[in-house]
A and B are shown apart, each in its own frame.
Chain A
Amino acid sequence: MQVAASDSGVGKEHFRRSTRGETLEGMKLLLGAAPVAAMLWTSLAGAVEVPDGNAPDEAAPGAPAPVVRPPPPPPPASAVQVDEPPAPEPPPEPTRSRRGAPPASTGFQAHFGTGASFPFGDATGRPGDSLGARYAWQVPFLIGLGAKLAERWYLGGYLQFGFGSEGSNPGVEDACDDKDSNLENDVSCSVITIRAGLEGEYSFDPPARWNPWIGYGLGLEGVVQSIDDEPHNREETNSSTGTTYAKLSFGADYRAGVGIGPFVEVVATRFEKTQTEINGYEVHSGPVEDRALHTWITFGFRMVVRP
């Protein structure tokens, strides 16, 4: 390649003409390769995943401030003016699975879960009538059916059953204890909790392998406690029902064919109605006079179908 003369008499026009042949040849090659390079770059960017928080443009905490380089000076006006074709715009990035996780689903979704539920708060405002005095911890079984309205948003219904026994009230505990040695449970006690309602969930990172989520729901709760005194042929059943004002939950799903992950759930309910039956006959039914708020806190695992 020849060095262009810088004679002012010839000027820049001379430069352009004197190097026209070779310069244009090189430019054509470069221009022809530009779209290919752009496509390659797009493909590479999609294939090579940068973990969240490790993106090069994100400064790690405590790291020195990045050096800001001034932008390159604009080319001189006399530079080779070649009509460059517009660089191809990168296609809109589709929702990609990350690290082999399945793509985020929309449409039908279901989840099932279990764990351990612990009672807190008061069943009523009467002294000593705490939820823990009435009911012990329970083993819950949770079912949720609904739909992912969008990748991040789920809306559906929930149904929960919890199984446990009597609480810490000494009188009831004593009554439920089997005191003889005939290997028969003469007095049996049980507690069943039923909960149903609507819930919504928000996923923070739907296509990721680990997808954290939070949820809120509201509905109804009923707890049925019974004590069956076989020797006296007397069965007493107490039902307390109320409104669940908040069913707060959060967790994270490990997304593979199905999603599996831990969750924590806090359900806040106020009993509003109570009913007592003796041997199947109702002996009292009415509103709860001293209403109070109670909560069940559940620690568990769940499985998500179509995560």
Chain B
Amino acid sequence: MRPDGYLSSGLLLGCLLLGCLGHACTNDPAGLSYTSVTLSATNAQGESTPGECTTLPILLGSHAMNTIDFDGQFEARVFASAREVEISFTGIQDPGAAKRTLSAEQLDAGYAETVTLVANDGQQFDVLIDSGCAQ
């Protein structure tokens, strides 16, 4: 420190460098963990469509709406809130039976289910509902 009480520029620079190093060492960005669900489909010939992930929102009152088109054969509608996700299908036979409502707790605990659907044109699909997001 200079006699007049001010820090010298070298000392100040050193402090700044030390501060930056310290910051880098202690910086452990964890962020948030998200709940998500992925839907993918496989037809009778074994051809798969890539899965599409929907992340549940964090805030109460928030919603996320995702409509997934499976090669024009049928559609899945994923309506997610912070607490649960509703999965419904259109373009299939007996859509009521294929509808699912999964809680965030179920997804956090790990969830996987294969739902067999018959599209309106008669083709059969296996839809995999899987917790997590591969993306």
Contact = CB atoms under 8 A, between A and B. Distances in A.
Given A171-B82, A236-B57, A238-B57, A186 B62 contact: no
A179 B30 contact: yes
A284 interface: yes
Interface of A is mostly: mixed
B58 A240 contact: no
9 contacts: A128-B83, A134-B60, A172-B82, A182-B23, A182-B28, A187-B31, A238-B60, A276-B57, A284-B62
Interface string A170-214: 011001000111101011000000000000000000000000000
A169 to B, nearest CB: 5
Interface of B: 23, 26-32, 34, 55, 57-66, 82-83
Contacts of B32: 175, 187, 227, 229, 232, 234
Contacts of A298: none
Contacts, number: 87
Nearest to B27: A182
Interface of B is mostly: loop
B60 A169 contact: yes
Contacts of A128: 60, 83
Interface of A: 123-124, 128-129, 133-134, 167, 169, 171-172, 175, 179-182, 184, 186-187, 225, 227, 229-232, 234, 236, 238, 240, 274, 276, 278, 283-284, 286
A186 B32 CA distance: 9
B66 to A, nearest CB: 8
B60 A186 contact: no
B31 A186 contact: yes
Contacts of A184: 27
A134 B61 contact: yes
A21 to B, nearest CB: 99
A187 B30 CA distance: 9
A284 B64 contact: yes
Contacts of B61: 123-124, 129, 134, 225, 238, 240, 274
A199 to B, nearest CB: 27
Contact of A284 (B23, B29, B30, B63): B63
Contacts of A123: 60-61
A123 B57 CA distance: 17
B67 to A, nearest CB: 11
A175 B59 CA distance: 9
Contacts of B62: 236, 238, 274, 276, 284
A231 B23 contact: no
B26 to A, nearest CB: 5
Given A274-B63, A283-B57, 17 more contacts: A128-B60, A133-B60, A167-B60, A171-B82, A172-B82, A180-B28, A181-B26, A182-B26, A182-B27, A182-B29, A227-B58, A229-B32, A231-B29, A234-B31, A238-B61, A283-B64, A284-B62
Given A276-B64, A283-B64, A284-B64, A175 B58 contact: yes
